[in-house]
Amino acid sequence: MNNILDKLSSKSDAFPDKIAFAFIRKGKKKTDSISFRELDQKSDRAARYLSNRGFKDGLVTLVLARPSTEFVVLMYAMLKTGAVPLLLPPIEIRKRNGRAQLRKILNRASPEGVIGSGALLAIRRILRLGPRKLRTINIRNLKKFHPNSNNESDFISKKEIDWTDVPAFVRYTTGSTGPPKGVIYSHGMLHSLLRTLESEGITSDDVFFGRSGTLIIHPLIGISSVSIIAKPRNITGQEIVETISNWGATAAFLSPPSAIHLANYLESHAESHHQLPAMLKSLTRIYVGGETISAGFVSTIESHLSEERPTRGGFHLVYGATEGFPLCHAQASTIIETHPKTESGMGFCLGEPVGGIRIRVLSFEDNNEQFDPSIASEVSGSGPGSILEISVMGPAVYSSLIGQDEIEFGGPKTTAHDSLDGTNWHRTGDLGYLDEHGRVWIVGRKAHRVRSKDGSTLHTKQIEEIFNHSLGIRTALVAGPDNHWPVILVEKDNSPWNEIEKRLKEEAKRACRLLGYDGELTFLQYEGAFPVDAGHEAKIEREKLSDWAKQRLYCLLYTSDAADEGLGEDLGGRRIIKK
């Protein structure tokens, strides 16, 4: 298998002046863009510059640069040379905990080089982030070299080696459900992503809007990619509609917050303008990943897509992970058809595996969150009575983590080995089941399930969907003080809490009946918006919410006035202990 970028020169010849990437920054009128010819030629010259300075042949390199055309040129240059970009997860280095986390990441990854802006390189040195002596390039010097057509170019990647398992770059998990882990993406994985896009019908005629893990390979199909550089929660529905319209985008990838903003914007305009025509008329496919969103939002977006969208729907909910993407997807029709089951506590339907991906739900023995992969077995039977761990294998699934991460977090800790055929299966950490049609359903994270003292287990996506749909609120299931105390937190809105609480208690009877749960539930109103991950800004950080709930309940339990305020009844009938 060749270097993934060997395909770039043919696309450069076919579409020399076509825009390959365009980056739009909020509040900025000028768009940062680069053509296919510029991308190929500049990355060739940049590859020559890097190679002459030793950045090649597996050199793990910390990259300190923000999304831009210069960043893309750098990434492509490194891919061509064989140097391995180390792309950090979102970390708040202004905080002591963030810097400590970053130091741990760099110590485990052991980078040998660093490339970045002068300011970021200075910050790294001042804060002593990573080894003191690293092979270093200031990106300003690289930017002076690659635009000059008189400089060395025509870089040719090695043809005599098989690039299938050669590392392309390292991408980190967000750390929302555990320590950030550095996942090695190989050239083989990128070739698999390319085949998946082509199997979806994506061609050089498409214009792609949004950010996703597949952007790096879009030019290899001839796609123009347009991105708004901002946090997903800060991108408005109006900005999405206007950008798609201005660029004639035919495909898009959105994080859940952006998709919800889009749906709300479309809905508000439909209400104020009777019989409003479709507002996304050029868009045939829209992909949403990172977290599930409700069927109501899906229906709204679907109704505004192009008439040329696929028969089963242009909206696709994509399921995957940093360790493997995409794994399976559900189109609009599937999400809408299965919605009654979702709101009845059966979990969320993720659809069918994408090409080349195999999915099983595997059993395990639980022992302090560690399990022996030798006991994994394929489940016979289907349905919510067979809830086990979703496990995957295929060409888009990673093989190993970077450096010490593989020893601390990888190997048998996240892999199940099939002793019959010798295959290794990545355990996603998500629990679910397969239905009679072979579709995958998710009920929540293994780490987020809550067990009551009577042995019952509650899963987040089962119980939350019941309350969220019936009451029009946002809830989060977390573990209470003794970790056997199910607590339902409610995100604060403008409705009076006493009214919401009354409705919650009434709905709880139906929820418990649907789930066969005979224990107690406690309801608390959270003080604001739920904290979410720094990546898609969609996954609820339940560990933080659990800590908050425990402190809140301990405060209520040990407050001298608690009994007088009737808190015993509010806390599920538990006895209040005074100081």
pLDDT of residue 21: 98
Which two tokens mark 304? 């505004």
Does pLDDT of 194 surpass 80?
Answer: yes
Record the pTM.
0.91
- Longest pairwise C-alpha distance within the chain: 83
Its sign, for the CA torsion 93, 94, 98, 100, is positive
Per residue in 236-290, pLDDT (tens digit) is 999 999 999 999 999 999 999 999 999 999 999 876 665 567 899 999 999 999 9
Q: Looking at 26-35, 121-130, 350-359, 559-568, which range is the least confident one?
A: 559-568
Spell out the residues 6+ positions from residue 261 whose beta carbon is closer than 8 angstroms to its own. 233, 235, 236, 237, 240
Quote the CA–CA distance of 137 and 145 in Å, as a whole number: 12
pLDDT of residue 271: 66
Q: Looking at 33-42, 163-172, 562-571, which range is the least confident one?
A: 562-571
Residue 29's CB is within 10 A of a number of other CB atoms, namely: 6
Q: What's the rounded mean pLDDT across residues 124-141?
A: 87
Which two tokens mark 561? 């006035």
- Of residues 424 and 458, more confidence is placed in 458
- Check whether the bond before 310 is cis (ω within 30° of 0): no
pLDDT of residue 177: 73
What is residue 434's three-state secondary structure?
strand
Give me the phi and psi of 457, to 5 degrees please.
Answer: -125, 130
Tell me if 78 sits within 8 A of 89, measured CB to CB.
Answer: no
Tell me if 35 sits within 8 A of 55, measured CB to CB.
Answer: no
Tell me if 181 sits within 8 A of 403, measured CB to CB.
Answer: no
Residue 349's CB is within 10 A of a number of other CB atoms, namely: 24
Which two tokens mark 365? 């023995």
Could you say which DSSP state residue 343 is in?
I
Give the mean pLDDT of the chain.
89
Distances (CA, A) of 6 to 46, 66, 77, 79, 191: 16, 25, 12, 10, 11
Tell me if 145 sits within 8 A of 46, measured CB to CB.
Answer: yes
pLDDT of residue 274: 59
Q: What's the rounded mean pLDDT across residues 504-527?
A: 93
- Of residues 575 and 150, more confidence is placed in 150
